[in-house]
Amino acid sequence: MSGLQAALPREMYVDPDAFARERDVVLYGEWFCVGRVADLGVGEPGRVAVVDVVGESVIITSDGAGVLHAAYNVCRHRGSQLFAAAPGAAPTCTAAGSLRCPYHSWTYALDGSLLRSPHATLTDDERPAFSLKPVAVDAWAGFVFVHLGTPSTTLLEAMARPDRTLANYAMGDLVTGLRFTYEVAANYKVVAENYNECYHCGPVHPELTRLVPAFGGGGTDIDWDNGVPHREGAWTFTMTGTTDRAPLPGLDAAERERHKGELVHPNLMLSASADHVAAFVLLPQSVDHTRIECLLLFHPAAAGDPAFDPSDAGDLWDLVNQQDWAICESVQRGMSSRSYTHGWFAPMEDDSADIRRWLLPRLEARDE
């Protein structure tokens, strides 16, 4: 078929076994975003956050020097969780000087090293072998990432493109001014593919395409590096296209009037407006269920203003999000039909094919 490319096969969206393999090989084998440093509470020394990473419970700590560490939430003695956390549980955070297992009181330092093992004498040479199982952790632009495998690249290398295209937004300095949490009955790849194309924008997002007319033309020839212009008189993603908030400091002339976006596989989507950045953290729960944290990030001076009201941006984003999640859930139901084998990418959806170019080589490399 001229101009059409076959999309991923049905089982990669609906088969639990295919999802389990993708989780083990890819989601656990890549830098995975778990949220904002400040929101998780690990921006200060002596803090412990417990996060879920596609069913694995991970402890993230900030030691006395403020250095981040991460480990599996599993005591090395008999396997008890150090912090009770069911699969899919929301993050929790607490202050702590050490990590004590509630079962037999084995105690670990915030860097995961074993401090005490009551009634079990270990020599200094033996003790390091009983440290918590470590997990790679790093931060970029205020976001925390973990890697449950052996990283082949640094986080900064993995974030090279958004580090370049969104550098002027100084996201590490921004604060969460509004948060939406959504439970979406769709595979995380359906959500990512939907984000990565605007073929659907005209039919699905009439309000958005009135704000950004280029989105209504199928999303072709959009220059994401330099940003997408709004309609005449509009310059940001709000219900009116304007706001009383000032543009973020450091933006160039184009960024003060245009919109930028980045999809960072596997689970971070970024949409940058002149006065705020919308960050979407995709948290796969199962083959057909994705929790989505939508964080609206603002300059701290704006968020600290007693008159701060992010609802003008929040109302637009929640509307657009609800439209997206509804169509993604429709796609998921359709993909679950016995009649469906795989979809097709039209030429204007070429960017959506990135999910194949990114995912398939990683799965194939494990097969070699």
- 336 contacts: CB under 8 Å, gap ≥ 6: 14, 288
Q: Are 257 and 288 in contact (CB under 8 A)?
A: no
> pLDDT grade, residue 348 (50/70/90)?
confident
**End-to-end CA separation in angstroms for the chain:** 31
Q: Which comes out higher in pLDDT, residue 187 or 122?
A: 187
Is 120 contained in some domain?
A: yes
CATH of the domain at 81: 2.102.10.10
Residue 1 predicted with pLDDT over 60 = no
Query: Which residue type, as a one-letter code, is found at position 276?
Result: H
pLDDT tens sequence across 123-179: 888 999 999 999 999 999 999 999 999 999 999 999 999 999 999 999 999 999 999
Q: Are 237 and 316 in contact (CB under 8 A)?
A: yes
- Domain identity same for 72 and 197: no
Q: Can you tell me the mean pLDDT for 26-44?
A: 97
Query: Which residue type, as a one-letter code, is found at position 91?
Result: P
Read off φ and ψ for residue 102, nearest 5 degrees: -75, -10
SS3 category, 101: coil
> pLDDT grade, residue 218 (50/70/90)?
low
Domain boundary among 157, 177, 197: 157
E strands in the chain: 5-9, 32-36, 47-53, 56-62, 68-72, 92-95, 99-100, 107-108, 114-116, 136-140, 143-147, 175-184, 228-229, 258-264, 268-272, 276-286, 289-298, 342-345
Residue 366: the pLDDT is 67
Query: Which residue type, as a one-letter code, is found at position 14?
Result: V
Residue 180: the pLDDT is 98
- Domain identity same for 182 and 236: yes
Residue 100 predicted with pLDDT over 60 = yes
> pLDDT grade, residue 220 (50/70/90)?
low
DSSP letters, 78-96, are T---SS---TTPPPEEEE-
Q: Which residues pair with 32 in a beta bridge?
A: 146
- The mean of the pLDDT values for the chain is 94
Domain boundary among 92, 122, 157: 157
Q: How far apart are CA 154 and CA 190, in angstroms?
A: 27
E strands in 85-241: 92-95, 99-100, 107-108, 114-116, 136-140, 143-147, 175-184, 228-229
- 156 contacts: CB under 8 Å, gap ≥ 6: 138, 140, 163
CATH of the domain at 330: 3.90.380.10
Domain boundary among 130, 157, 184: 157
Q: Are 134 and 42 in contact (CB under 8 A)?
A: no
Chain-centre distance for alpha carbon 359: 16
Residue 340: the pLDDT is 97
> pLDDT grade, residue 222 (50/70/90)?
confident
- Domain identity same for 152 and 40: yes
> pLDDT grade, residue 187 (50/70/90)?
very high
Q: Are 142 and 239 in contact (CB under 8 A)?
A: no
Q: Are 287 and 16 in contact (CB under 8 A)?
A: yes
- Domain identity same for 184 and 153: no
Chain-centre distance for alpha carbon 72: 20
- Domain identity same for 152 and 171: no
Percentage of the chain exceeding pLDDT 70: 98
Supply the pTM of this predicted model: 0.96
Spatial CA neighbour of 298 closest among 13, 18, 4, 38: 38
* Rg of the chain on CA atoms, in Å: 22
Q: How far apart are CA 282 and CA 290, in angstroms?
A: 7
Q: Which residues pair with 344 in a beta bridge?
A: 6
- 293 contacts: CB under 8 Å, gap ≥ 6: 35, 179, 180, 181, 280, 281, 283
- Domain identity same for 219 and 293: yes
Q: How far apart are CA 337 and CA 76, in angstroms?
A: 45
Lowest mean pLDDT among 113-122, 273-282, 344-353: 344-353
Residue 254: the pLDDT is 94
- Domain identity same for 41 and 76: yes
> pLDDT grade, residue 219 (50/70/90)?
low
The residue range of the domain holding 254 is: 159-367
Lowest mean pLDDT among 86-95, 110-119, 175-184, 223-232: 223-232
- Domain identity same for 180 and 96: no
**Structure-token pair, residue 4:** 């059409």
Q: How far apart are CA 66 and CA 88, in angstroms?
A: 27
Residue 354: the pLDDT is 84
- Domain identity same for 115 and 235: no
pLDDT tens sequence across 38-57: 999 999 999 999 999 999 99
pLDDT tens sequence across 283-294: 999 999 999 999
Q: Are 310 and 298 in contact (CB under 8 A)?
A: yes
- Domain identity same for 204 and 318: yes
- Percent of the chain that is helix, strand, coil (3-state, to 5): 30, 25, 40
